[in-house]
Amino acid sequence: MLGLTFGISVFLVLGNESSTQADTTNSETEKITQNNIAAVTTQVSHKPAVSSLDHAEQVAPVKPDETGDLISYTVKAGDSLSAIASQFQVSMASIMQQNDLTSSEAISVGQVLAFSKSYVVKEETKELLDTENDVEAQGVSVNNGNKVAAGGLSDEERTYVLTQLQTRTGVDASQWDYIISRESGWIATIKNSLGYYGLFQLAPTYPGYDGDLNAQIEGAIYLFNNGGMTHWAL
């Protein structure tokens, strides 16, 4: 009887220890599981979310770079030289000189203007622009009833020439308009059978012969300063 009682006691003690160990193990397992869940939750909560706006920014197309020094621009309908110069933050004089333009109006749709933003502007084109701005004040008109042949200079170009001549010689623009119309019909590259050339029909030995518009103006002013209007029989 005593042996049976001892056996039962040992079983109860061992049973209680096993139960205690099981409870402890379950408790620790539960704690580890909870800690793992908390850690995962923390990682997820700290991961930056990618919104649809962020995605759109990542795939948005890059705009054309207009910050470079060399520019190639095709003139569109409605463009003006002043607007193009403003767009690229350069002066009109810079674009004119680099593209051999004789007037700020001498651009056309489809024309390609190539220029460098770092170009150093020479003074003569600045003077040209100042002259164009002063046309109204000078009272210069190209509507004097004189002939302009097919292929002759545009209104803007003729205004520039007449303004230069009137300003620098003191002779009225209408008088110069008559001379040029009679001599060349306002065709700047015309040459007669004797070899006389350009707007003023300059002889081969005269300054400005076979030159561009400005060179021809300088040639005419040189002749005026050395003989006045007698060179054109006036």
pLDDT higher at 144 or 209: 209
| Rounded distance between C-alpha atoms, residue 150 and residue 141, angstroms | 19
Q: What is the pLDDT of residue 30?
A: 52
pLDDT category at 35 given cuts 50, 70, 90 is low
Q: Answer whether residue 11 shows pLDDT above 90.
A: no
CA geometry: angle at 105 spanning 99 and 111, to 5°? 50
DSSP 158-221: HHHHHHHHHHHH---HHHHHHHHHHHHTT-TT-B-TT--BTTTTB-TTSTTTT--HHHHHHHHH
**H or E element, residue 223:** helix 213-225
Q: Could you tell me which residue, 53 or 180, shows the higher pLDDT?
A: 180
What is the C-alpha to C-alpha distance for residues 229 and 63, in angstroms, rounded to an integer?
59
Q: What is the mean pLDDT of residues 41-45?
A: 46
- Listed by start position, the domains of the chain span 70-122, 134-232
Flag the least confident range among 14-23, 98-107, 142-151, 193-202: 14-23
Instruction: Please tell me the CATH superfamily of domain 70-122, with its number.
Output: LysM domain (3.10.350.10)
Q: For position 200, what pLDDT does the model report?
A: 95
Confidence of residue 52 (pLDDT cuts 50, 70, 90): very low
96-126 tens-digit pLDDT: 889 988 777 778 889 999 999 888 877 655 5
Share the mean pLDDT of the chain. 74
- The closest of 87, 110, 84 to 96, measured between CA atoms, is 84
The owner of tokens 């007449």 is 162
High-pLDDT (> 70) share of the chain, %: 64
- What single DSSP character describes residue 229? G
Q: What is the DSSP letter of 144?
A: S
Asked if the model's pLDDT at residue 26 lies above 70, the reply is no
DSSP code per residue over 60-105: PPPPPP--SSEEEEE--TT--HHHHHHHHT--HHHHHHHTT-SSTT
The confidence band for 5, taking pLDDT boundaries of 50, 70 and 90, is very low
Q: What pTM was estimated for this model as a whole? A: 0.44
According to the model, what pLDDT value does residue 155 have? 87
Comparing 128 with 231, the larger pLDDT belongs to: 231
Predicted pLDDT of residue 170: 86
pLDDT band with cut points at 50, 70 and 90 for residue 133: low
